[in-house]
Amino acid sequence: MKKVELIDVSKSYDKQVDVISNINVTIEPGEFFVLVGPSGCGKSTMLRMIAGLEEITGGTLKIGDQVANHLTPNKRDLSMVFQNYALYPHLTVQQNITFGLDVKRMKKDEQRQKAQEVAEMLGLQAYLDRKPRELSGGQRQRVALARSIVSETPICLMDEPLSNLDAKLRAHMRSEIRRIQRKLGITMIYVTHDQVEAMTMGDRIMILHEGKIQQIGKPIDIYNYPANPFVATFIGAPPMNLAKAELDKQTSHLVIGQTIRLPIPADQLDMLPQKMTIGVRPENLHSEAQAEDHTIAFQVEVTNVEILGNETVFSFTIGEEEWMAKWTGQWHIGIGDSLSIYVHFDVLSIFDEHSGELIKKTIDNGNYIANKEVSP
């Protein structure tokens, strides 16, 4: 296993504007590390720089203990799975899987054995003699993954490998890739624009926006404690609700969107600026039946409803912003209905209005299973 380290790494195509700026991160050996962000944020460019397919304009890339800036791709001891699979149409599945082993001058018998082993791992035994055109999208994706695994490199790079698959197959392949990565213990660097993939697959995730790091951390920590409003709205489905808010010190209230007045605990009063941006997750806006002590109710008019079977999501307006609430179960709510929404100050995330910095975290809403001693 090898670590990958980027030190002040930047990339520019015209030597004037950086598309990647001052990236500093260490990806630990055996870690599943996810690069996530909107289209055009630079995540695929960063992956290609690690692979050696893009030149690094500034900074240092280290693979293991070796500076890799000027190493050719074949000397970086890594494999890569592309978005378009990159299979050879004239070769069989087995030949596609073992293609890279010819370069290593491995004997044909050993190549066949390795292909059989990895095919069994990925459920491809029945397809080894077929051509790529005879396979489904998911099967082609597994062939591309098998070709990467059979090379036995300690680092595997994946560039949006599931984006061409349907939702059900994508969910299955997420768990398959994660299971294989754990089994082999390889370092995986995975690029996606899908925040669900990032949340469910990564040990840690890096969120990029306009070529700059917004936040690095464990998925649940980023979900609970986003570093700024961009992260808050990018991670989470539905996204975090945001609104401008002002402090009314005379009455010790927070005024949100000029419509909601929320009492502020005395120990929180001095830490808040006069103007701020507040955020609240849709699942932290409750009905009267779910309301706890010290929650405040406010009236809203429903503008849209989505009933998803196990939960109901509906929209309403706060000031100039459209907010969403997510309630567990099936609720018979119609557009135009007037509802009472309950919220508690503790669940708010508060950001500095100018810098976007998180200045108040939400409470930890996690549930824990108590470890009970087992009697002999």
Order of strands, sheet of 304-307, starting from the edge strand that comes earlier in the sequence:
304-307, 311-318, 321-328
Which residue, 365, 366, 42, 359, is CA-closest to 232?
359
Output the CA torsion 261→265→270→271 (10° steps): -90
Order of strands, sheet of 58-63, starting from the edge strand that comes earlier in the sequence:
18-27, 4-12, 58-63, 66-67
DSSP annotation of 286 reads B
pLDDT of residue 370: 65
State the Cα–Cα distance between residues 358 and 332, nearest whole angstrom. Answer: 36
Structure tokens at 38: 């909107």
DSSP for 289-352, please give it. Answer: TT--TT-EEEEEE--EEEE-SSEEEEEEEETTEEEEEEEES-----TT-EEEEEE-GGG-EEEE
Domain with residues 239-360, CATH architecture: Beta Barrel (2.40)
**Which residue is associated with the tokens 């209230």?**
253
Cα angle 175-178-183, degrees, rounded to a multiple of 5: 120
pLDDT of residue 333: 93
CB count, 10 Å around CB of 140?
22
Structure tokens at 264: 């502020």
* CATH 3.40.50.300 domain locations along the chain: 4-224
Question: What CATH code would you report for 4-224?
Answer: 3.40.50.300
Pairing mode, if any, of strands 78-81 and 155-159? Answer: parallel
* CATH 2.40.50.140 domain locations along the chain: 239-360
State the Cα–Cα distance between residues 273 and 359, nearest whole angstrom. Answer: 9
Which residue, 11, 148, 5, 170, is CA-closest to 82?
148
Residue type, 149: I
CB count, 10 Å around CB of 156?
23
Task: List, for residues 126-185, the tens digit of each pLDDT value.
Answer: 999 999 999 988 888 889 888 888 888 899 999 988 887 788 878 888 888 898 899 889
- Residues 267-294 as b or e (16 or more Cβ within 10 Å = b): eeeeebeeebbbbbbbbbbbbeeebeee
DSSP annotation of 133 reads G
Residues of the chain with pLDDT under 50: 374-376
Structure tokens at 185: 């213990």
Pairing mode, if any, of strands 275-280 and 296-301? Answer: unpaired
DSSP for 197-215, please give it. Answer: HHHHH-SEEEEEETTEEEE
H runs (alpha helix) in the chain: 43-51, 93-97, 99-103, 108-122, 137-150, 167-184, 195-201, 219-224, 229-234
pLDDT of residue 293: 66
